[in-house]
Every structure is written in C-alpha cells, then in structure tokens.
C-alpha cells in the first residue's frame, strides 16, 4: 500500500513537472533564443570582506562598483542587473564554499572578489572549475595572473609584485643600503617582500631581516624592539586596513619614526590617513593611485564619490569603480549577452579603462599595465611626488595564456 502511494505520487509529480516543462518550452519557443537569454537580469556575485581588518576595503570596493554602474545608466549592455553579496570575512578556509554558493544557489553570471589573496585563491579554483567569469577588484595573489592565469579570470587592481617593485629602487636612490621588511605572514605580505627583495638587491641593497606577524594580528611591540636593535637604514612594509592604522601608530609611538625611515606599498596609507594622524606624516609609499592625481577623471570621480557616500574615495574605491567600467565596456560590446563567454572575454581583453588612476589596459595575463606613483603623506593626503615606474607590467611568471 505504502509503496503504491509513493509510486502514485511520484508519477503525479512527473506528470505535473512534464506539463510545467512543456508550458515553459512552449512559452520560450515564442521568443528568439537571444531575447530569451537577455530578458533576465545579469546576476553579479560580490564576495568581499564586510567584517574584520579589511571591512572598510570591501565597502569601498562595493561603493566604487555601484557608482560606476549607476553613472553608466544602471544597466549592463542594456540589461538590468542584480547583486548577490557575501561577507567572506577575509577567511580563506570558507572561500570555496562561499564562491560555490554564489554559483550554484544564486546562479551568478560573474563573480567579483575579493580583497584577501587567500580568499581570491579559493575563488580562482572555483571559477576555473565552473568556467564562471571572475573579476578580482583587489587581491594581489601573483598566481591569479601568473601560474594560475585563465581565460575567464581578470584583475582590475594589481599583482602583489607590482606596487612594491619600484620601492626597492626608490629606497636605494635615497641612499638606503640595509633594510628590514615587516609584514603579515600570508601571500600578500610574502609576495610583497619577495618583489621588494628582488628589486632592492638588484640595485645593491640588502634585506637584513624579514619580520612577520600572523594575519590579522596587530601585536607589533616585540618586532619593533627588534627593529630598534637592528638599526637598519630603513624599514619597508606591507600592511593595510585596520592593521595599517595600528602599525603606523605603534611605529611612531616606539620612537622609531624619526630615527629609521618607514616606507611601504601605498596600502599602508590608503583610506586610513585620518585615523593615523601625525604618525603618518611624511611617509613615502608607492602605489598605482593617489587621491591628488591631477586628471579630470579623478577629480570628477572623487567629487561624485564624496557626494554619494559622504566619505573620500581611496584606491579600493577606484578598483571597484574600474571593475564596473570594465564590465560595462565588455557587456555593451556584446549587447548584454553575458552567456557568450568567448565574446565577453575578448571584449574584456581589448578594454581600455579610462580610470581615475590614469588610463590602463589589460596585460596578456589579464592584469593592469599601469603607472606606479611615489606618494608622500601630507596633512591627511597622499601627495603625488613622481611616477616611480611608468607602465609597469607584472612579469606573469608561469602564465601560459
Ligand atoms: C591581498 O591580500 O592581496 C591584499 C589585501 C589588502 C591590500 C592589498 C592586498 O590592501
């Protein structure tokens, strides 16, 4: 009896589903295939940190992205879009699950994320397996556009190799020969250090000590004591977000600021200068953006961003904005047909982005070829004092695109 019921209800369900499917096919058959594919909204999966030391970075990226899309008329290639958000907590161990959920549950057409290199590595794994388009609006993991480069993986920010590479030369030119590098112990810190070491030793410098704290810890005291004892000519570092505020303040409070000059990749002073106060005054950093860049695009962008979000734009906002510009450019070119993957990829490869950071385009490995600026922190502003490296392209080691 029981068995019969199950079979009966199973058969009923089959019949009901078959009717529903026939209805759907019949309705769909009235529409040409392209119209059918394009009538739905484009689904964007945004995976960023909204909690923890990188929370402000995630928010700035989302703000920048939304600003570009709104300025573009609120559509992508003529189609409406919908954003699905996940707080990735800068937690690499949750990255593949989070990315998979966006793809299988929310059925996103494009994945956008993230800030943390370890999280981005998880997203790359998922995107490579699923074939989903991935745009990285921050994370610098060298492999993303190096050994693990892929046709469907693009980056609108930088590789970890890029911003610190010019720093080695800048510091050598300023007469420093013995440097200490201090950072968080994870990919972004380790790859920044490797790039700095490569550049600094090429011009005769020596990295006398490499110092690490686990991410996202901010207990710097013991290492600052060690730096004082080592007495190097200068210190270089990679820190960002909340951790960068604490490090810059602790460095000054330890009495090191006027004794041993501190340099960094420009993330050290991005979006955090107000919180760092006097402790940041005079710091020299290298980065692919500076708020004081004197070009009309940057001025207009900064004014709209301030008006919309009541806060100043930083490099993360620019990277989010450029992600929006890239998607709009590519989807306009393919008339919103996001399912035509090879055409979307070709359009993204050919894109020229008129960015607040200055115009840039994609390298063969899908990473921005861009100028790196030398900046000095002055009264709450990162002032451009020169171009540290013109049109710097990541070496894309191991990329076979
Ligand atoms: C990274 O993890 O790749 C990362 C995070 C924050 C930054 C830059 C790079 O500001």
116 lines ligand 1 (CB under 6 A): yes
243 lines ligand 1 (CB under 6 A): no
Query: Which of residues 118 and 27 earns the better pLDDT score?
Result: 118
Asked if the model's pLDDT at residue 1 lies above 90, the reply is no
Asked if the model's pLDDT at residue 264 lies above 90, the reply is yes
To test the pocket of ligand 1, the residue of 116, 146, 155, 187 to mutate (highest count of ligand atoms within 8 Å of its CB) is: 116
**d(CA 267, ligand 1 centre) in Å:** 8
Asked if the model's pLDDT at residue 49 lies above 60, the reply is yes
pLDDT at 38: 55
**d(CA 139, ligand 1 centre) in Å:** 5
Q: Tens digits of per-residue pLDDT, 182-205?
A: 999 999 999 999 999 999 999 999
267 lines ligand 1 (CB under 6 A): yes
Q: Tens digits of per-residue pLDDT, 355-377?
A: 999 999 999 999 999 999 999 99
pLDDT at 379: 96
Half-sphere exposure of 338 (CA within 13 A, CB side): 25
Element (H, E) at 110: strand 110-112
136 lines ligand 1 (CB under 6 A): no
Q: Tens digits of per-residue pLDDT, 118-154?
A: 999 999 999 999 999 999 999 999 999 999 999 999 9
**d(CA 190, ligand 1 centre) in Å:** 11
117 lines ligand 1 (CB under 6 A): yes
Q: How confident is the model at residue 52 (pLDDT cuts 50, 70, 90)?
A: very high
Q: What is the DSSP string of 6-29?
A: HHHHHHHHHHHHHHHHHHHHHHHH
**d(CA 140, ligand 1 centre) in Å:** 6
| Mean pLDDT along residues 318-331 | 98
**d(CA 341, ligand 1 centre) in Å:** 28
Whole-structure pTM value: 0.91
Q: How far is CA 309 from each of CA 114, 161, 303, 344, rounded to the nearest angstrom?
A: 21, 31, 10, 31
- CA–CA separation, 45 and 42 (whole Å): 10
Burial of 341 (0-12, 13-18, 19+ CB in 10 A): middle
**d(CA 201, ligand 1 centre) in Å:** 24
pLDDT at 263: 98
**d(CA 61, ligand 1 centre) in Å:** 12
Contacts of 401 (CB under 8 A, 6+ apart): 149, 150, 151, 364, 365, 366
pLDDT at 181: 98
Half-sphere exposure of 185 (CA within 13 A, CB side): 8
Asked if the model's pLDDT at residue 36 lies above 60, the reply is no
Please state the separation of Cα 239 from the chain's center in Å: 15
Nearest CA to ligand 1 atom 7: 240
Asked if the model's pLDDT at residue 30 lies above 70, the reply is no
Locate the ligand 1 atom nearest the alpha carbon of residue 241 and give its number.
10
Asked if the model's pLDDT at residue 88 lies above 80, the reply is yes
pLDDT at 332: 98
pLDDT at 37: 52
Q: Which of 34-48, 64-78, 82-96, 341-355 has the lowest mean pLDDT?
A: 34-48
Q: How confident is the model at residue 10 (pLDDT cuts 50, 70, 90)?
A: very low
139 lines ligand 1 (CB under 6 A): yes
Please state the separation of Cα 23 from the chain's center in Å: 44
Contacts of 39 (CB under 8 A, 6+ apart): 31
| Mean pLDDT along residues 56-76 | 98
């Amino acid at each position: 009896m029981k068995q019969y019921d199950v079979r009966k209800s199973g058969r009923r369900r089959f019949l009901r589903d078959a009717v529903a499917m026939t209805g759907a096919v019949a309705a769909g058959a009235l529409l040409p295939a392209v119209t059918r594919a394009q009538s739905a909204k484009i689904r964007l999966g945004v995976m960023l940190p909204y909690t923890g030391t990188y929370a402000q970075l995630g928010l700035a990226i989302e703000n920048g992205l939304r600003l570009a899309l709104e300025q573009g008329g609120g559509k992508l290639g003529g189609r409406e879009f919908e954003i699905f958000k996940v707080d990735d907590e800068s937690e690499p161990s949750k990255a593949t699950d989070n990315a998979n959920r966006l793809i299988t549950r929310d059925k996103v057409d494009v994945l956008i994320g993230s800030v943390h290199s370890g999280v981005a590595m998880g997203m790359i794994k998922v995107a490579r397996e699923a074939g989903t388009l991935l745009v990285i609006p921050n994370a610098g993991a060298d492999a993303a556009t190096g050994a693990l480069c892929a046709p469907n993986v693009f980056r609108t920010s930088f590789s970890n190799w890029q911003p610190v590479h010019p720093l080695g030369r800048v510091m050598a030119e300023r007469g420093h020969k013995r440097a200490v590098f201090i950072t968080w112990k994870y990919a972004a810190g380790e790859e920044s250090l490797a790039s700095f070491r490569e550049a600094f030793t090429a011009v005769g410098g020596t990295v006398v000590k490499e110092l690490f704290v686990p991410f996202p810890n901010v207990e710097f005291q013991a290492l600052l004591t060690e730096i004082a004892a080592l007495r190097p000519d200068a210190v270089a570092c990679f820190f960002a977000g909340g951790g960068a505020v604490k490090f810059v303040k602790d460095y000054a409070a330890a009495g090191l600021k006027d004794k041993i000059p501190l340099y960094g990749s420009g993330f050290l002073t991005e979006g955090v200068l107000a919180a760092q106060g006097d402790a940041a005054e005079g710091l020299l950093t290298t980065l692919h953006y500076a708020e004081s860049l004197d070009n009309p695009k940057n001025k207009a962008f900064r004014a709209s961003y301030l008006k919309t979000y009541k806060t100043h734009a930083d490099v993360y906002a620019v990277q989010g904005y450029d992600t929006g510009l890239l998607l709009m450019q590519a989807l306009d070119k393919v008339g919103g047909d996001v399912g035509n993957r090879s055409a979307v990829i070709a359009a993204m490869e050919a894109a020229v982005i008129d960015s607040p950071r200055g115009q840039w385009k994609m390298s063969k490995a899908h990473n921005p070829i861009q100028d790196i600026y030398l900046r000095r922190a002055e009264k709450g502003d990162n002032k451009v004092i020169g171009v540290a490296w013109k049109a710097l392209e990541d070496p894309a080691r191991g990329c076979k695109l």
